[in-house]
Amino acid sequence: MKILLTGGAGYIGSHTAIALIEAGHDVSVLDNYSNSSPEAIKRVEKITGKNIALHEADAADKDKVMSILKKEMPDCIIHFAGLKAVGESVDKPVEYYRNNIDTTLTLLECMRELGLKNFVFSSSATVYGDDHKPPFTEEMTKGMCTNPYGWTKWMQEQMLADAAIASSKFASQSRGAKGSEDEATDWKEPLSVVLLRYFNPVGAHESGLIGEDPQGIPNNLMPFISQVAVGRRDHLTVFGDDYDTPDGTCRRDYIHVMDLAEGHVKAAEYAAEHTGTEVFNLGSGTPYSVLEMVHAFSAACGSEVAYEIGPRRAGDIQDSWANADKALKVLGWKTRRGIDEICRDAWNWQSQNPQGYGE
């Protein structure tokens, strides 16, 4: 299939490009590099030996997106483009709602006009909010999000599911009929939407050529640990050790980014065979605490990662992990890499690229 990745130069998109190419698909990328570098795609080309059509554009710019989609006419769009920093979203809610919602609406309008059908969306376990106890299952009601970023994912899921319903209704009505007066608002194809709820993506491609390269001080645990290990930061602050867990620190479902990437291959192939909306958790189902991650990383890099215990971080939930049975049953997908591979590959990337792509 021809698959277009919005935000494909970013952390998860670049790893997914490799998995898609290895599965025999053709990949093109649309990115505005607001949080990435074209260097990531150059490295993907080096790893795979394949050329990738690279389009610099804002995914909310309808004219540009239309002309790129007309050129590519992809069988599937995987929509990674978005702003993702939870703390920043609290300070810049307007920018987060504008960017994340607008990109999805623009893509939907373009798909409708061009009769494109298949869409895979980067959602997040954050949509479960703090209303449920893990393991989270897809049929649980979406919860109350704790920040604007989470709400953008929550709303985008809703918009996509609503569009899929409308597209199936109108596409079947207008088939064989003359359609409505406004061609642009007629759905030509019933949409197929796959919503992927990622848990905590971590690690890097095993080559060490691509990996996570956050700008400024990392918000997330694994890149922070990696930067302490490589000497860019003095120590990690563990956000609270007074939770009701065995060692007092929060537990999460860390998923190797290449396992996650392979989940996208299955999701895109599934989308092509179906219509309507389907939701999948992509996680390992196994939780690890913050201190377990610190100790596993220390073992992988061969030196103790310095840390101190600090106060809890506002908005953190104690526990989050997936029930990923549905992805196994329907997509035939499950994680294959564990905590040791996660830490090995994260360290391989960080130690080979201490300053990320910026060297």
Among 17, 80, 111, 120, the residue binding ligand NAD under the rule CB under 6 A is 80
Task: Return the SS3 of 287.
Answer: coil
Q: Out of 3, 4, 13, 285, name the contact with ligand NAD by CB under 6 A.
A: 13
Listed ranges 59-67, 89-97, 172-180, 215-223: which one lies at the site for ligand WQD (CB under 6 A): 215-223
- Comparing every residue's Cβ against ligand NAD, the nearest one is 10
198 given a catalytic annotation: no
Q: How many chain residues interact with ligand WQD (CB under 6 A)?
A: 18
Angle, vertex CA 56, rays to CA 50 and CA 57, nearest 5: 135
Nearer to ligand WQD, 254 or 333 (CB): 254
Question: Binding of ligand NAD at residue 103 (CB under 6 A)?
Answer: yes
CA distance 91 to 75: 37
Stretch that binds ligand WQD, among 51-59, 134-142, 231-239, 274-282 (CB under 6 A): 231-239
The one catalytic residue among 11, 96, 149, 198: 149
Q: Tell me which of 18, 60, 86, 301 binds ligand WQD, using CB under 6 A.
A: 86
Q: What is the DSSP letter of 126?
A: G
Q: Which residues of 97-128 are buried (b: 16+ CB within 10 A; e: fewer)?
A: bebbbebbebbbbbbbbeebbbbbbbbbbbbb
Binding mask 25-54 for ligand NAD (x = CB under 6 A): ------xxxxxx------------------
Q: Which does 316 bind (CB under 5 to 8 A by kind): ligand WQD, ligand NAD, none?
A: ligand WQD
Nearer to ligand NAD, 22 or 88 (CB): 88
Contact 284, 255 (CB under 8 A): yes
Q: Residue 158 and residue 302: Cα distance in Å, rounded?
A: 45
Least distance to ligand WQD from the beta carbon of 68, Å?
26
Cα separation values, 96 from 10, 37, 82, 92, 127, Å = 17, 20, 8, 6, 16
Binders in 163-182 for ligand NAD, by CB under 6 A: none
Binder of residue 253, out of ligand WQD, ligand NAD, none (CB less than 5 to 8 A by kind): none
For residues 124 and 167, which CB has a smaller minimum distance to ligand WQD in the complex?
A: 124
Tell me the CA distances in angstroms from 285 to 36, 47, 321, one per residue in order: 29, 30, 6
C-beta separation of 212 from 256 below 8 A? no
What is the pattern of x (binds ligand NAD, CB under 6 A) and - over residues 306-345?
----------------------------------------
Helix/strand/coil for 103:
helix
Count Cβ atoms within 10 A of the Cβ of residue 259 and give its class: 0-12 exposed, 13-18 middle, 19 or more buried.
buried
* 124, 152, 348, 353: residue in contact with ligand WQD (rule CB under 6 A): 124
d(CA 202, CA 219): 13
Helices (H), the chain: 11-22, 38-48, 62-72, 86-91, 93-114, 148-174, 221-229, 257-273, 290-301, 325-326, 339-352
Verify binding: residue 265, ligand NAD, rule CB under 6 A.
no
Quick one: which of 139, 101, 96, 141 has its CA closest to 121?
101
Output the residue with the shortest Cβ distance to ligand WQD: 250
252 binds ligand WQD, rule: CB under 6 A: yes
Give CA–CA dist 195/135, Å, rounded.
18
Q: How far is CA 359 from CA 30, 47, 350, in A?
A: 24, 19, 12
Complex with ligand WQD: residue 87 or 179, whichever CB lies closer: 87
Summarize as ranges the residues that interact with ligand WQD (CB under 6 A): 84, 86, 124, 126, 200, 219-221, 224, 236-239, 250, 252, 290, 313, 316
Summarize as ranges the residues that interact with ligand NAD (CB under 6 A): 6-7, 9-13, 31-36, 58-60, 80-84, 99, 103, 122, 124, 198, 201
Active site residues: 149
